[in-house]
Every structure is written in C-alpha cells, then in structure tokens.
C-alpha cells in the first residue's frame, strides 16, 4: 500500500531536523503532495467552497487502505473546486466535494478539509511555507497566502441581559460576534429600514 499524504506529513512532524523534514518531503514527492501544499500556501489558488467541515458521513472505524478511493486518485478531480474553476452551480460543487470526502479514509478527508481552509499548519505545525520552499524551490510564489491563525481560547463571557421592545439597542457583545453583513442588516432593522 502506498504511503498516504497524512502519513507523510506525520513523518515530517516526527522528524527532528529541518534537513530530515526536507528529505522526507522529497522522498515522497508526488503531484498530490505538491498540489496539496501548493493549494494551502499559494494565494492564487483556493477552493471555491465555504470554510469549515461540510456535513458528510465520516467512517472512523474503517481501517486505512479499505476506503473506496484514495487522495492520490481524487487529487485528479481537484480542478473542479480549485479557483479558477469550472462553471458548475454551487450546490453541485458542494455535493461533489462531499461525495469525494465520503469515499476517502477519514484521515485523508481531514487533510483535504484543512487544505481547503488553508489550515494545514494547524494540524502539521512544522509544515511551513519555508519548509515547502526548501523541499520544492519552484513550487510556491514569493508571497504566500494568509494562513488563518489558531483560534484562541476565550474566557466565557457573562451573558448580558437581553433587551426587548421597540427602540432597543443592540448589545455590543452580540455585535462583536456578528459578521459585517449581519451587523449591517441588524442596524438597518433597528433603524426601521427593513
């Protein structure tokens, strides 16, 4: 059985020196491995899908090697989702993505989701753009994509008292958790604009 991309990245994590990490990446060099690293760090490439884990049937009891497909096989279909992409309806893109994830071993599915969200370095902290450049000098552009930072654990905030009725003002704590669009809609509603 061929070594999976998650297994390769685990070996990279366990390697002691930068040189050993580079050697591992070069030894297991494949279009699939390079493609996953490139999509994760290249600002010109991205999955045209919503962030986060989609609702799919994840079978964690299935042993490695018994999945319907492998990432090496499914990588050939990434052109469907990677921008610039084929002009398919959003629902079709998401449906095809979920079908692909359900056919992969759960470790490979988790890796694909991490690459899609540019969070590969959250799972594999030593896999950095610098390491990828050292292993594959021509792979990444000079400027790499912004990588989302690890979520910080926040203290539980006290629940503010809810106000109700006409003329109530939004609670500042509630506004901080909303996105810009939600804030605008809420402000319009409070001003009577809707």
* pLDDT tens by residue, 62-86: 788 778 888 898 899 888 888 766 6
Per DSSP, 125 falls in state T
Closest CA to 112 of 57, 45, 39: 39
Lowest mean pLDDT segment, chosen from 13-22, 30-39, 43-52: 43-52
Tell me: pLDDT of 128 over 80. Answer: yes
CB of 100 closer than 8 Å to CB of 81: no
Structure confidence at residue 19 (pLDDT): 94
DSSP 80: G
Say yes or no to pLDDT of 193 above 70: no
Closest of 119, 87, 115, 121 to residue 101, by C-alpha: 115
Q: If pLDDT is split at 50, 70 and 90, which confidence band does 178 have?
A: very low
Pick the residue with more confidence: 24 or 163? 24
The runs of H, that is alpha helices, within 28-149 are: 31-41, 71-74, 90-103, 106-116, 120-123, 129-135
């Amino acid at each position: 059985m061929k070594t999976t991309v998650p297994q390769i990245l685990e070996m990279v994590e366990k390697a002691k020196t930068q040189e050993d990490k580079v050697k591992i990446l070069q030894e297991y060099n494949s279009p699939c491995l390079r493609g996953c690293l490139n999509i994760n760090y290249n600002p010109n490439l991205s999955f045209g899908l919503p962030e986060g884990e989609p609702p799919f049937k994840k079978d964690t009891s299935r042993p490695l090697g018994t999945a319907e497909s492998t990432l090496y096989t499914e990588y050939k279909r990434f052109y469907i989702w990677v921008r610039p992409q084929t002009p398919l309806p959003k629902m079709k893109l998401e449906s095809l993505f979920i079908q692909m994830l359900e056919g992969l071993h759960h470790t490979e599915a988790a890796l694909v989701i991490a690459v899609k969200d540019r969070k590969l370095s959250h799972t594999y902290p030593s896999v950095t753009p610098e390491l990828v450049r050292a292993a594959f000098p021509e792979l990444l552009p000079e400027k790499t994509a912004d990588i989302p930072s690890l979520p910080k654990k926040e203290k539980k905030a006290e629940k503010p008292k809810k106000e109700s009725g006409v003329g109530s003002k939004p609670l500042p704590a509630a506004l901080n958790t909303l996105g810009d669009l939600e804030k605008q809609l809420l402000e319009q509603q409070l001003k009577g604009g809707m």
